[in-house]
Chain A
């Protein structure tokens, strides 16, 4: 700390002060990887197409709604007009001691107007609401179905977080527009246009004076819309930073506390929430200018109307009724301005959401369903890789022309180095991917020619990612075959050795597994996943590192169960444990996508200079 830097700033002299956002946050590539996300005032072609296809079933209905909304607004706008009629034409006859017919007539008309207004309003709100909700339901369904249809390759790239956000946040943005935005803007525009016309008709000169405020109003609205979209973005960005800091502190509280990170965190958080506050203050102050600004213009206009209108009444060029109508109309005129200013933001985010949704819906799965599927109701489990090549990235093949036949009922274990292509082989068998060249066949039928149902009944893959769905343990086992009876579920659990621990759970098979299976240990989840696969009873079972999360006692259980599970069906195991490999009929040693050793475990053990033999030696050595 040098003496001349003291004046510079206290922040730079003290290491405990926040160093500023960029320094601790580091540098990162922002906003990468979204399928084009920018919304604009004009919807892009595909968003328009999506919106069009969503609204098509309601085509005639939309016209009806437009008619109704016009009627409603006409009825609403007629009321001040009728007030004028009452004052100007209804009162004088009474003053003159004459009949009150005109007045009664006016009151009757007003009642009629109110009734029409309320009926059409209820009709409009309800029906427009229904259309909006149905459109939302439809878009939810379409997106969900489409995400389910898209292949694993897509999901590898497009993270689950983004899928969730398409179906939640983005839908919310569209909903906001459908629920309030459109109704607000239609009413606002109709009111403004209607009032403007009526004012001119009521009294051309006074009306013209009133409409002078219009351009100023528009300028104010435009200024506000632009400024607020900037400040709202700042608010959103800053709130995101606050949220990230908060959530990461709470999820990483172990590291925070273990490393005494609290103080530095507090500084960073104070800095961030200070920025968030500043951004918010800015946006609040925009509103603090905008809303009173509208009020100011409105009040001045009313004042001018009073002055000029009063002058015209005194001159005898206008009636008091017209003046009263003007005052009522002007009130109506300024009310919807707020809606217009807010519509802009709603529309922006909704159109961005629509753009992203339409982008997703345009994605086509590379793993396609066959047009004319070959039926295969009872697969035997004869697997064949016919000169299969596969590459994730162009020109870098993971499998260069694999040739492999697995006869029905055989248990094959795959071992190999990192990146040897073991998991790729498994994924090709389960048709998570399609081969780049060659073909994978089951009982002689290309997997690409099998209907989804037949394929999934015949081939099931269990990975180490043992996803548990919301619901009970029984539900999760039944996922393998939803129509299974309770007895069948229990039988499956017993076969894989899961029955014991399940009965010890608080509610046995009906125990709720909790969010993503938090209540079950990794090993227990593994056993449930095995039971699930056993219940599905496929002709081909693929286990991809499926035993790696088991502890020793459960692994022994599974080891025993594996015998049951694997017998009488074709099975392929990618094992991380030698004990699992040893129960196989046949072992394949892979390197760079090619099979370099192939034989029974006993055969390979005796092979000189063999990898498998070397592996076994290393294992024995590690325990010496």
Chain B
């Protein structure tokens, strides 16, 4: 059977061509998003400009956008470490949740400790709990070769259900008239603000640098990348693969757990079962878009936060239904992620393939 089209893997594509493909993808995504808007009788230009104004138009909006970017950046760094190893950690949500849970446990039970000590303990508890939650599927993968995608995904639901059980049951605030709510932290358990935004933005910047350095300039970072490229190479080189997998997932889960601590302490000031806010899933997209590069992650996450915040804003100021805002996001993602395919592969009509063989397209 002959397929009418042929898909051929590309060799290394020139920078110029790659940029061209991505530019085309961005333009196409905006055009298609615009067409969707026209169906709703909306002026696409007005919608796009409102997205931008709604996310960076005023001081308040910039702050809100940054508050959204912070968890996204740190979670993306966590996801990146695992993905570099081709360990598909879909469990960011659960790791964030468990980090938030552990740091909340500390904050709720030791709320009288001095602020710096309490916050430090919360951060440690959060990172350790997230790390352990990431470690469990890593252990099974390292020892028994289980599928980590399904495993990490399922661990999310365990974490979410456990936190909602606590919120509706044992941890419920007795003062709240029976409303399912966990008590708020004392002031000592709340991260301070720096320049009008909670201090998480400084952590995010520091971690970007730290993860970049770790992945590119340390032995462990190099080993993680080698395991991701080829297990056999890693083994031939005498690397101890299971311990690399475990270390990487401790870091990956630990970073996500730290996100949970930041969200619980600085944003919610308590634990709620919605605290992971989809950041664990969105981080998969942003880490991928950033091509698993820590510095790029920073910018992609900022751009994504603009999109998220702007989409909320158009719902309000233009009475756009929330579903449409999601469609626009989806269309943009579809094209930008889809462009990746065209960077790696070329598509040709089969009858033309004979003429073009040997044109640099080798497997």
Binding between chains A and B: no
